[in-house]
Structure 1
Amino acid sequence: MVTERDYLPAMGQHALLFLYDPCTRLAGVGRLHDELLDQADVRPGHRVLEIGCGTGNVVLRLARRTPGADVLGTDPDPRALRRGHRKAVRRGLPVRFERAFADELPVPDASVDRVLSSYMLHHLDDADKPRVMAEVHRVLRPGGELHLIDAAGGHAHPRLAGNTPDRVVALIRDAGLDATESGRGHRRGPVGHYVLYRAVRRP
């Protein structure tokens, strides 16, 4: 059972969810998803979990690119998950979707090879971020990796102001993961400056 609590939906309002896929497609966000997946280097047989998967664009892209990967998308928004599931069925892709908050993931300890996160971190309140990273550490196998892409921070918007690379790296490291910027980050993308991060759970 998922405990009911507030969350920020993909478009900021539930009523605007129908615009999410067209807007991200027109903005060219798929290119950023490809960068994230290139960095993650998922192989057949890997178990992969995305936190905050929304309507499933990243996990569906991954399943198409890497047949044989075990792919699960999680999100607190049941409407977004239903859209993701319908897209997976239409495309014949074996992606599973499950409702969950990012600090209560529905998988056992040390069971995941890759955790993915795409433009989700800035949706969280600062108080929630350490719990989410602790949960990522819990579910990753030793040697497993977190791959995260998000806005570069430093913006006037309160949810983005503190999302600077040094703070994000510190947050990930405080959870016990070895974290770096990828070197391909802090670039200008279709939705503003962004950073790619990579973190590894120590063996």
Structure 2
Amino acid sequence: MGGTKGFTPALGFHALTPLYDRVVALTTRERTFKQALLDQATIEPGHQVLDVGCGTGTLAIEAQHRQPGVQMSALDADRTVLDIARRKARRAGAEIVFDLGRSSALPYADERFDRVVSSLFFHHLSWGGKLLTAREMLRVLRPGGELHVADWGRAGGPFSRTAFLAVQLLDGFDTTSDNVAGMLPVLFASAGFHQVEETRRIPTALGIVSLYRAVKGAAARAQRSAGDMA
């Protein structure tokens, strides 16, 4: 999936991109789930951290503010949202490297990062795209490194399932069905992660935002080395 064409823009349409921050803040309890995600990630000074599908940079900026010694990178396929993210980071005094690229072919070396984070991104991808992205996240994490994801999760009942239809109408039923069926833990395990768990479920006006955690085991490195020698 070379290049950055064909991606789904923020809110589904390029014309809505300038409204993204306001809409997300009003409908998803953004501050609550992003603070919880960063609490969970336990980012330490000196860590190298990657935010995949960073959008307008809100999560990356908050992560860098929490730990000024963190080396923060952030990636998105949308030039427009990256321009917004860079302006926000400059205003906030946050030192973040924003990169244009695809989650399915991350432009980073193997085992570079201590943490990979992502918020409200996986539901934009097909199952195949999700799996490629998770495998790439595994590749760029160091052994013992952790993946922390916040995204739409399994419906909690008829009300949350009905509310989530608004997200599906905007972002597509094919890509969001895996999320609402609660399949992300299966996805991360299939990609090779260990200790995969859903750690929290946060009700919002549009459905349930779930937090997930997964770890790259030392075995993943050994398996990769064996594959290279075959």
Q: Tell me the TM-score normalised to structure 2 length.
A: 0.82
Q: Is the 8 A contact 1:181 1:195 kept in 2?
A: no
Aligned twin of 1:61: 62
- What is the CA distance between 1:40 and its match in structure 2? 0.4
What is the one-letter code of the residue matched to 2:8?
L
Q: What SS does the aligned partner of 1:184 have?
A: strand
Q: Which moved more, 1:167-176 or 1:18-27?
A: 18-27
Aligned twin of 2:40: 39
- Cα distance change, pair 166–24 in 1 and its aligned pair in 2 (3 A): closer
C-alpha distance in 1 between matches for 2:116 and 2:134: 11
- What is the CA distance between 1:79 and its match in structure 2? 0.5
Aligned twin of 1:70: 71
- What is the CA distance between 1:191 and its match in structure 2? 3.8
C-alpha distance in 1 between matches for 2:183 and 2:144: 23
- What is the CA distance between 1:181 and its match in structure 2? 2.5
Aligned twin of 1:170: 186
C-alpha distance in 2 between matches for 1:98 and 1:198: 24
Q: 1:21-170 residue pairs with structure 2 within 5 A?
A: 21-27=21-27, 28-153=29-154, 155=161, 157=168, 158=173, 159-164=175-180, 166-170=182-186
C-alpha distance in 1 between matches for 2:62 and 2:187: 28
Q: Is the 8 A contact 1:148 1:198 kept in 2?
A: yes
What is the one-letter code of the residue matched to 1:174?
S
Q: Is the 8 A contact 2:196 2:215 kept in 1?
A: no
What is the one-letter code of the residue matched to 1:30?
R
What is the one-letter code of the residue matched to 2:58?
N
C-alpha distance in 1 between matches for 2:43 and 2:184: 23
What is the one-letter code of the residue matched to 2:52?
I
Q: Is the 8 A contact 1:153 1:161 kept in 2?
A: no
Aligned twin of 2:9: 9
C-alpha distance in 1 between matches for 2:181 and 2:68: 33
Q: Tell me the TM-score normalised to structure 1 length.
A: 0.92
Aligned-pair Cα RMSD in Å: 1.6
What is the one-letter code of the residue matched to 2:191?
A
Which structure features the higher share of helix residues? Answer: 2
Gaps of 5+ in 1: none
- What is the CA distance between 1:180 and its match in structure 2? 2.6
Q: Over residues 132-189 of structure 1, what are the superposed CA-to-partner deviations in whole Å (9 max), with x where a residue is unaligned?
A: 111011100000000011111455531322214652111111111114334323x313
Which of the two has higher C-alpha Rg? Answer: 2
Aligned twin of 2:204: 189
C-alpha distance in 2 between matches for 1:191 and 1:166: 16
Gaps of 5+ in 2: 156-160, 219-230
